[in-house]
Structure 1
Amino acid sequence: MLDVGDDAPDVTAPMATPEAAATTDRGSYTSDDVAEFSLATALADGPVVLAFYPGVFSRTCTKELCQLRDWKADLSALDAPVYGVSADTPWSLLAFVDEYDIAYPLVSGFNNSVIADFGVRRESGLMAGIADRAVFVVAPDGTVTYTWRATEPLTFPDTDEVEGAVAAAAE
């Protein structure tokens, strides 16, 4: 797993956006509904929060992503985009965004290295290939300024710590 002070990898991956989920009927998604996420492009506007999670529509991840949805609404004055990242396909991410009214983009680690590049890919066991639950704050210069990784199920990052890390990264 990347540590504070490490350079974040310059990753690109498919992304499901709330706008695309709102304009296309669920079950009718095509590649035209999938955007491209580029960390370098996202960082051009300031710090970025990347929230890695195992998969959409699971009990724990649904709770986490909805908690992040509600937390992000509280941070409307703080200019820091939040991106969820999982191994799910972009089409299942679009369905999840639609179902739970997620107001931030979800990045697909399906068939690319974004999860491994951040060092949070499970390498063995029945669930090999999915992401561990982790959060990174990346400063505009690409430096990781905050990391958190779950050690138990149903644990979530302290959002006040994430907020503080974003504020510090923006300075």
Structure 2
Amino acid sequence: MLEIGDDAPDVTAPMATPEAARETDRGSYTGDDVREFSLSDPLEDGPVVLAFYPGVFSRTCTRELCELRDWKADLADLDAPLYGVSVDSPWSLLAFIDEYDLQYPLVSGFNNDVIDDFGVRREDSIMRGIANRAVFVVAPDGTVTYTWKATEPLTFPDTDEVEAAVAEAAGTK
């Protein structure tokens, strides 16, 4: 797993957006509904929060992503975009965004190296290959300034710590 002070890789991956989820009927998604995410793009405007999670529509991940949805308004004042990241396909991510009214994009680690590049791919158990639950704050210069990894099920990051890390990375703290 990347550590504080490491350079974040400039990953590129498919992304499901709230706009695309709203514009297309569920079950009718195509490649035209998928956008490209490149970490360097949002970093031009300030720090970025990446929340890795095992998979949409699972009990714990649904709870976490909805908690982040509700918390996202707090980050709006800090002007830091939040992206969820999992190995799910972009189409299942679009359906999840639609189902739970998420207002932030979800990045697909399906068939690319984004999960590996951040060092959060689960390597053991029947669920090997999915992402471990982890959060990173990346500063505009691409440096990782905050990390968190779940050590047991049903644990989530302290959003106050994430907010403080974003403020520090943005130079507002």
TM category (shorter chain) comes to: over 0.9
TM-score (norm. length: structure 2): 0.98
- Identify which range, 66-75 or 104-113, moves more after superposition: 66-75
Task: Give the TM-score normalised by the residue count of structure 1.
Answer: 0.99
Q: CA deviation at 1:123?
A: 1.6
Deviation at 1:78, TM superposition (A): 1.4
For 1:27, the equivalent position in structure 2 comes to 27
Could you say what secondary structure the match of 1:75 adopts? Answer: helix
Question: Take 2:45 and 2:89, find their aligned partners in 1: how far apart are those partners?
Answer: 26
Consecutive aligned runs of 4 or more in structure 1 exceeding 3 Å deviation = none
Q: Structure 1 residue 75: deviation in Å?
A: 2.7
The farther-off stretch of 159-168 and 74-83 is 74-83
Q: Matches of 1:95 and 1:29 in 2, distance apart?
A: 9
Question: Distance between the aligned counterparts of 2:15 and 2:48, measured in 1?
Answer: 15
Kindly, what percent of the aligned residue pairs are identical? 82
1:132 maps to: 132
- The yes-or-no answer on 1:163 pairing with 2:163 is yes
State the one-letter code of the partner of 2:13.
Answer: A
Shift, 1:125, TM fit: 1.9
1:81 corresponds in structure 2 to 81
Unpaired stretches in structure 2, ≥5 consecutive residues: none
Helix, strand or coil for the counterpart of 2:37?
strand
Does residue 123 of the first structure (1) align with residue 123 of the second (2)?
yes
Indicate the RMSD between aligned Cα atoms, in angstroms.
Answer: 0.6
Alignment of 1:97-112 (within 5 A): 97-112=97-112
Unaligned regions of 5+ residues in structure 1, if any? none
